[in-house]
Amino acid sequence: MQLALFILVSALTLGGALGVVATRNVVHAALFLLLSLLGVAGVYLLLFAEFLALVQVLIYGGAVTIVVLFAVMLTRSSEYPRISDNRQWPLALLVALAVAAVLGTAFWVAPQVDAQPQAPVFTGLAASLFTKWALPFEIASLVLLVALIGAIIIARTPAASDADEPAADGGR
Protein backbone atom coordinates (compact mmCIF):
# COMPACT_ATOMS: atom_id res chain seq x y z
CA MET A 1 0.00 0.00 0.00
CA GLN A 2 2.79 2.41 0.91
CA LEU A 3 4.63 1.64 -2.32
CA ALA A 4 1.51 2.35 -4.36
CA LEU A 5 0.99 5.66 -2.55
CA PHE A 6 4.65 6.54 -3.04
CA ILE A 7 4.40 5.85 -6.77
CA LEU A 8 1.22 7.94 -7.01
CA VAL A 9 2.71 10.89 -5.10
CA SER A 10 5.98 10.62 -7.03
CA ALA A 11 4.09 10.68 -10.33
CA LEU A 12 2.20 13.76 -9.12
CA THR A 13 5.46 15.47 -8.16
CA LEU A 14 7.26 14.60 -11.38
CA GLY A 15 4.22 15.44 -13.51
CA GLY A 16 4.01 18.87 -11.90
CA ALA A 17 7.74 19.43 -12.39
CA LEU A 18 7.53 18.45 -16.05
CA GLY A 19 4.55 20.75 -16.44
CA VAL A 20 6.57 23.65 -15.04
CA VAL A 21 9.31 23.31 -17.62
CA ALA A 22 7.10 22.25 -20.53
CA THR A 23 4.38 24.89 -20.48
CA ARG A 24 4.78 28.25 -22.16
CA ASN A 25 2.17 29.98 -19.98
CA VAL A 26 3.64 31.45 -16.80
CA VAL A 27 0.40 31.14 -14.83
CA HIS A 28 0.12 27.47 -15.78
CA ALA A 29 3.76 27.01 -14.75
CA ALA A 30 2.97 28.49 -11.32
CA LEU A 31 0.03 26.10 -10.93
CA PHE A 32 2.18 23.14 -11.99
CA LEU A 33 4.76 24.28 -9.42
CA LEU A 34 2.06 24.23 -6.75
CA LEU A 35 1.08 20.72 -7.84
CA SER A 36 4.68 19.55 -7.62
CA LEU A 37 5.17 21.11 -4.19
CA LEU A 38 2.00 19.44 -2.92
CA GLY A 39 3.39 16.14 -4.18
CA VAL A 40 6.54 16.71 -2.14
CA ALA A 41 4.31 17.32 0.89
CA GLY A 42 2.70 13.96 0.16
CA VAL A 43 6.15 12.33 0.22
CA TYR A 44 6.76 13.91 3.63
CA LEU A 45 3.46 12.46 4.85
CA LEU A 46 4.51 9.02 3.67
CA LEU A 47 7.72 9.45 5.68
CA PHE A 48 5.65 10.28 8.81
CA ALA A 49 7.01 13.83 8.84
CA GLU A 50 3.70 15.65 9.33
CA PHE A 51 5.33 18.88 10.44
CA LEU A 52 7.51 19.05 7.32
CA ALA A 53 4.45 18.30 5.17
CA LEU A 54 2.58 21.18 6.82
CA VAL A 55 5.54 23.52 6.38
CA GLN A 56 5.86 22.40 2.75
CA VAL A 57 2.22 23.25 2.06
CA LEU A 58 2.18 26.54 3.98
CA ILE A 59 5.59 27.96 3.11
CA TYR A 60 6.40 26.57 -0.30
CA GLY A 61 2.95 25.72 -1.59
CA GLY A 62 1.46 28.97 -0.38
CA ALA A 63 4.12 31.62 -0.11
CA VAL A 64 6.39 30.71 -3.02
CA THR A 65 3.49 30.26 -5.40
CA ILE A 66 2.04 33.62 -4.29
CA VAL A 67 5.41 35.29 -4.95
CA VAL A 68 5.53 33.75 -8.43
CA LEU A 69 2.01 34.97 -9.12
CA PHE A 70 3.04 38.46 -7.86
CA ALA A 71 5.82 38.44 -10.41
CA VAL A 72 3.36 37.46 -13.12
CA MET A 73 0.91 40.17 -12.08
CA LEU A 74 3.56 42.87 -11.94
CA THR A 75 5.17 41.97 -15.25
CA ARG A 76 3.52 43.77 -18.09
CA SER A 77 3.89 41.45 -21.05
CA SER A 78 3.48 44.28 -23.56
CA GLU A 79 6.67 45.95 -22.29
CA TYR A 80 8.90 42.99 -23.12
CA PRO A 81 9.71 41.49 -26.50
CA ARG A 82 8.36 38.06 -27.28
CA ILE A 83 10.66 35.43 -25.82
CA SER A 84 11.59 32.73 -28.28
CA ASP A 85 12.76 29.20 -27.61
CA ASN A 86 16.17 28.86 -26.06
CA ARG A 87 18.75 27.31 -28.38
CA GLN A 88 20.45 25.54 -25.47
CA TRP A 89 17.58 23.12 -24.78
CA PRO A 90 19.41 20.09 -26.26
CA LEU A 91 22.28 20.65 -23.82
CA ALA A 92 19.81 21.09 -20.97
CA LEU A 93 18.08 17.85 -21.96
CA LEU A 94 21.41 16.02 -22.02
CA VAL A 95 22.35 17.33 -18.56
CA ALA A 96 18.91 16.43 -17.18
CA LEU A 97 19.19 12.89 -18.54
CA ALA A 98 22.68 12.53 -17.05
CA VAL A 99 21.46 13.69 -13.64
CA ALA A 100 18.49 11.32 -13.87
CA ALA A 101 20.82 8.43 -14.74
CA VAL A 102 23.11 9.16 -11.78
CA LEU A 103 20.19 9.52 -9.35
CA GLY A 104 18.47 6.42 -10.72
CA THR A 105 21.64 4.39 -10.38
CA ALA A 106 22.15 5.63 -6.82
CA PHE A 107 18.56 4.72 -6.00
CA TRP A 108 18.82 1.16 -7.31
CA VAL A 109 22.30 0.47 -5.90
CA ALA A 110 21.70 1.88 -2.39
CA PRO A 111 20.88 -0.66 0.31
CA GLN A 112 17.34 -0.66 1.66
CA VAL A 113 17.13 0.88 5.11
CA ASP A 114 14.64 -0.58 7.56
CA ALA A 115 13.70 2.32 9.81
CA GLN A 116 10.76 2.61 12.14
CA PRO A 117 8.80 5.87 12.40
CA GLN A 118 9.47 7.87 15.52
CA ALA A 119 7.19 10.52 16.96
CA PRO A 120 9.04 13.82 17.27
CA VAL A 121 8.55 16.10 20.26
CA PHE A 122 7.26 19.53 19.23
CA THR A 123 6.73 21.11 22.64
CA GLY A 124 10.00 23.09 22.52
CA LEU A 125 9.34 24.23 18.97
CA ALA A 126 5.77 25.26 19.79
CA ALA A 127 6.84 27.15 22.90
CA SER A 128 9.51 28.99 20.90
CA LEU A 129 7.16 29.84 18.02
CA PHE A 130 4.40 31.19 20.24
CA THR A 131 6.61 33.12 22.68
CA LYS A 132 9.95 34.25 21.25
CA TRP A 133 9.03 34.34 17.53
CA ALA A 134 5.35 35.35 17.67
CA LEU A 135 5.92 39.07 17.07
CA PRO A 136 8.40 38.68 14.16
CA PHE A 137 6.04 36.16 12.57
CA GLU A 138 3.11 38.59 12.77
CA ILE A 139 5.23 41.47 11.43
CA ALA A 140 6.31 39.33 8.48
CA SER A 141 2.68 38.44 7.76
CA LEU A 142 1.71 42.14 7.82
CA VAL A 143 4.57 43.01 5.46
CA LEU A 144 3.41 40.29 3.05
CA LEU A 145 -0.17 41.56 3.28
CA VAL A 146 0.96 45.11 2.45
CA ALA A 147 3.01 43.73 -0.46
CA LEU A 148 -0.05 41.85 -1.72
CA ILE A 149 -2.23 44.95 -1.58
CA GLY A 150 0.50 47.04 -3.25
CA ALA A 151 0.96 44.46 -6.01
CA ILE A 152 -2.77 44.42 -6.71
CA ILE A 153 -2.89 48.23 -6.85
CA ILE A 154 0.15 48.44 -9.13
CA ALA A 155 -1.11 45.67 -11.41
CA ARG A 156 -4.60 47.12 -11.73
CA THR A 157 -3.61 50.78 -12.25
CA PRO A 158 -3.69 51.63 -15.96
CA ALA A 159 -0.52 53.17 -17.34
CA ALA A 160 -0.79 56.92 -17.76
CA SER A 161 -0.85 57.95 -21.38
CA ASP A 162 -0.12 61.28 -22.98
CA ALA A 163 -3.80 61.70 -23.90
CA ASP A 164 -4.86 61.59 -20.23
CA GLU A 165 -2.43 64.27 -19.11
CA PRO A 166 -3.41 67.94 -19.42
CA ALA A 167 -1.51 69.91 -21.98
CA ALA A 168 1.42 71.91 -20.62
CA ASP A 169 0.69 74.88 -22.88
CA GLY A 170 -2.77 75.52 -21.44
CA GLY A 171 -4.69 73.40 -23.97
CA ARG A 172 -3.77 75.35 -27.10
Domain architecture of the chain: domains with CATH: 1-77 (1.20.120.1200)
Tell me the torsion sign for CA atoms 39, 42, 43, 44. Answer: positive
**Distance between CA 142 and CA 48 in Å, rounded?**
32
Tell which wins on pLDDT, 89 or 36.
36
- pLDDT tens digit sequence for 125-164: 778 878 888 888 888 888 888 887 887 787 776 655 544 5
Whether this model's pTM surpasses 0.75? no
The yes-or-no verdict on residue 12 having pLDDT over 80 is yes
For 32-47, what is the mean pLDDT? Answer: 92
pLDDT at 57 > cutoff 70: yes
Q: Please, what is the angle between helix 65-74 and helix 134-156, to 10°?
A: 30
What are the distances in angstroms from CA 41 to CA 6, 7, 51, 132? 11, 14, 10, 27
- The arithmetic mean of pLDDT across residues 97-123, rounded, is 84
